[in-house]
Chain A
Amino acid sequence: MKLTLKVWRQKSASDKGRMESYTLDNVSGHMSFLEMMDVLNEQLISERKEPVAFDHDCREGICGMCSMHINGEPHGPDRGVTTCQLHMRKFNDGDTIYIEPFRAKGFPVIKDLVVDRSAFDRIQHAGGFISVNTSGNTQDANAIPVPKHDADKAFDAATCIGCGACVAACKNASAMLFVSAKVSQFALLPQGKVEAKRRVLNMVEQMDKEGFGNCTNTGACEVECPKGISLENIARMNREYLKASLSSE
């Protein structure tokens, strides 16, 4: 198929940036979106032009690196997939595809489609961990009984790959789904109880510092999340936050 691509080009973080138009012939429906981007870059290199910079790593939907906003949606029009899992068969011959970086104050553009998502790392550092006694008397985690329901919920929350699609989709650029998934995966398990109060307070505080918006519960994040992280996690984090705010240390 023949496609017209409108791609965001930005030389550096300080550059203003603009949309540029490219025409690409012979795109196969079997290609992944990133393979299509590879073909575009080969074409640009053969024309002695600067290739488009974009993030990618595993190309199997588990690393959370790919971060394109395609035709107005993070990771494109398909559901439950990352950009690398999006196939070109989702598009039609003659389509015009808009490709932009994830937009948020907390995700500044580094170059072209590459954004700095280290804000997520700093939120994790603020509380996304548990303390374990490593003196040699560490209790085997498998020896601690955990209700099946709680374990399932914790594992569901832990499937968050931190890609940032929730932020990109949200009209407020809110990171609540990401932070709530990270809070929930520990809040549901006995190992996470020790730092429960500090964790939620510190992670929410860091989220606000990074410039992400407030959640207005539109649910766009849940729809666009490639891992299907549920809004239930946001409700759980709100409960944890209220509980932590109202109780004394």
Chain B
Amino acid sequence: MALSALFLLIFLLQHFAINITSVFRADTFNELSHFMGTNPIVQYVFQPILIFGVIFHFTMGFILEVRNKQSRDIRYVKYNGNANASWFSRNMIWSGLAILAFLGLHFVDFWVPEINTKFIEGNWEGTMAGIEGLRYHTELVHKFENPVRVAAYCIAFVFLAMHLLHGFTSSFQSLGANNKYTRGALRKFAVAYSILIPAGFIIIALYHHFNIH
């Protein structure tokens, strides 16, 4: 669980680093997207590892939740969870489910069409009829035209921030990499990462939405 979490944290940073270029320079975003979409190591090594990592993470999350629920067969009549633990830490399953629902939307939006273009239609050129040069930036901007989709993305990233606010430090604690020397600095870095990265994704979605209109 913790290892897959750390892997996904690194993936998220890489994903953000590429996506943010779409705000500043369309050509850079197109080139990076084309590289990621056509490089055989990325496609045939990293992509399956990523898919496995995502499936492993949420499957283990569900198993953990079910097993932990069974550990207290009779519930308390009065339970004051807020007195000793944050809402985020106690509700990882709900923020995780919201992120999983978003992943479904994200796959339908980007991953499925991409797989269809490359593996079904056999177009590995990164081109599209009616578009000069590479197609990735145009497709991205087009997706963020719909305000409902933009709103769904923004809400999903708020849930992601909640998930990360606990999950980041929790993964280090589970691996034993947490002591009095690292605890403070790790917490600060985790809070910064958990807020800045999802906020950055929200800014990208909003930027493209309002830039069109």
Residues of A within 8 A of B (CB): 6, 8, 19, 69, 71-73, 77, 98, 100, 103-106, 109, 169, 171-174, 211-220, 223-224, 230-232, 234-242
Whether B77 and A171, one on each chain, are in contact in the complex, defined by CB atoms closer than 8 angstroms, is no
Contacts of B70 in A (CB 8 A): 105, 211, 213
Q: How far is it, in angstroms, between the C-alpha of A238 and the C-alpha of B1 when the chains are bound?
A: 13
Whether A235 and B90, one on each chain, are in contact in the complex, defined by CB atoms closer than 8 angstroms, is no
Contact partner of A19 among B74, B77, B169, CB < 8 A? B77
Contacts of A171 in B (CB 8 A): 68, 81, 85, 90
- Nearest 5 A/B pairs, CB to CB: A72-B80, A239-B176, A213-B71, A172-B68, A238-B176
Q: How far is it, in angstroms, between the C-alpha of A173 and the C-alpha of B74 when the chains are bound?
A: 11
Interface residues of B in 38-91 (CB under 8 A from A): 64, 67-68, 70-81, 83-86, 89-90
Given contacts A216-B64, A232-B178, A239-B176, whether A73 and B71 have CB atoms under 8 Å apart is no
Whether B84 and A220, one on each chain, are in contact in the complex, defined by CB atoms closer than 8 angstroms, is yes
Contacts of A235 in B (CB 8 A): 173, 176-179
Whether B173 and A103, one on each chain, are in contact in the complex, defined by CB atoms closer than 8 angstroms, is no
Chain B's closest residue to A168 (CB) is: B76
Contacts of B166 in A (CB 8 A): 217-218
Q: How far is it, in angstroms, between the C-alpha of A144 and the C-alpha of B74 when the chains are bound?
A: 48
Query: Of residues A171, A216, A223, which shows the largest number of chain B Cβ atoms within 10 Å of its Cβ?
Result: A216
Contact partner of B83 among A19, A72, A234, CB < 8 A? A72
Q: Does B161 contact A (CB under 8 A)?
A: no
Q: Does B170 contact A (CB under 8 A)?
A: yes
Whether B64 and A214, one on each chain, are in contact in the complex, defined by CB atoms closer than 8 angstroms, is yes
Contact partner of A69 among B71, B76, B174, CB < 8 A? B76
Whether A104 and B77, one on each chain, are in contact in the complex, defined by CB atoms closer than 8 angstroms, is no
Residues of B within 8 A of A (CB): 64, 67-68, 70-81, 83-86, 89-90, 92, 166, 169-170, 173-180, 183
Contacts of A239 in B (CB 8 A): 176-177
Whether A218 and B78, one on each chain, are in contact in the complex, defined by CB atoms closer than 8 angstroms, is no
Q: Identify whether the interface residues of A are mostly helix, strand, loop, or mixed.
A: mixed
Whether A217 and B86, one on each chain, are in contact in the complex, defined by CB atoms closer than 8 angstroms, is no
Assuming A8-B77, A217-B166, A235-B179, what are 6 further A-B pairs, CB within 8 angstroms?
A72-B80, A103-B74, A105-B71, A212-B71, A232-B183, A236-B176
Distance (whole angstroms) from the CB of B93 to the closest CB of chain A:
10
A-B pairs with beta carbons under 8 Å apart, 20 shown? A103-B76, A104-B71, A171-B68, A172-B72, A214-B64, A216-B89, A217-B170, A218-B89, A219-B85, A219-B89, A220-B84, A220-B85, A232-B178, A232-B180, A235-B173, A236-B179, A238-B173, A240-B176, A242-B175, A242-B176
Contact partner of B76 among A72, A211, A219, CB < 8 A? A72
